[in-house]
Amino acid sequence: MSVSVLFVDDDAPMLRALKREFSYEYDLSVAYSAAEAQTLISGHRRFDVVISDVTMPGMNELEFIDRAAPQNPHTSFIVLTGNGEEETLKRACSMPAVVRVLTKPASRELILEAIGEAVSRKSLCP
């Protein structure tokens, strides 16, 4: 059975690149906003891993996880950030559903490693 992964980011070119890069390894979906991701994850679709940017219009990443995680206890979340705001990173790592925080640009190998760890639910937050 294939691992289902949802990438969430408002950067369309980055999502296209991620889709090209990872669609052969995973059952991959993308969402261009937290609201779109919320709709996908609240529907009948189950995701093993959600990788989401912190800063997006409308709803920030941590709000999205706050809403989505309780309804999806089987889903592991990976936070992807372009800014290293320490308080946000600490808060993300304190959330039980978050297993990893990655800084942009994250290498293919690092993303693969994070997904593998997320599937096994082994937290790598400091």
For the domain that residue 61 is a member of, what is the CATH number? 3.40.50.2300
Count of domains observed in the chain? 1
Enclosing domain of residue 56 = 4-119
Tokens representing 100?
A: 């990893």
Q: Are 46 and 40 in contact (CB under 8 A)?
A: no
Query: Whole-angstrom Cα distance, residue 47 to residue 85?
Result: 27
Residue with tokens 């296209």: 16
What pTM does this model have? 0.89
Q: Are 56 and 33 in contact (CB under 8 A)?
A: yes
SS3 39: helix
Max mean pLDDT among 23-27, 59-63, 87-91 falls in 23-27
* Domain annotation covers residue 125: no
pLDDT, tens only, 62-120? 888 988 899 888 899 999 887 767 777 888 888 999 999 988 888 989 999 999 989 88
The pLDDT assigned to 76 comes to 94
Q: Is the bond leading into 105 cis (omega within 30 degrees of zero)?
A: yes
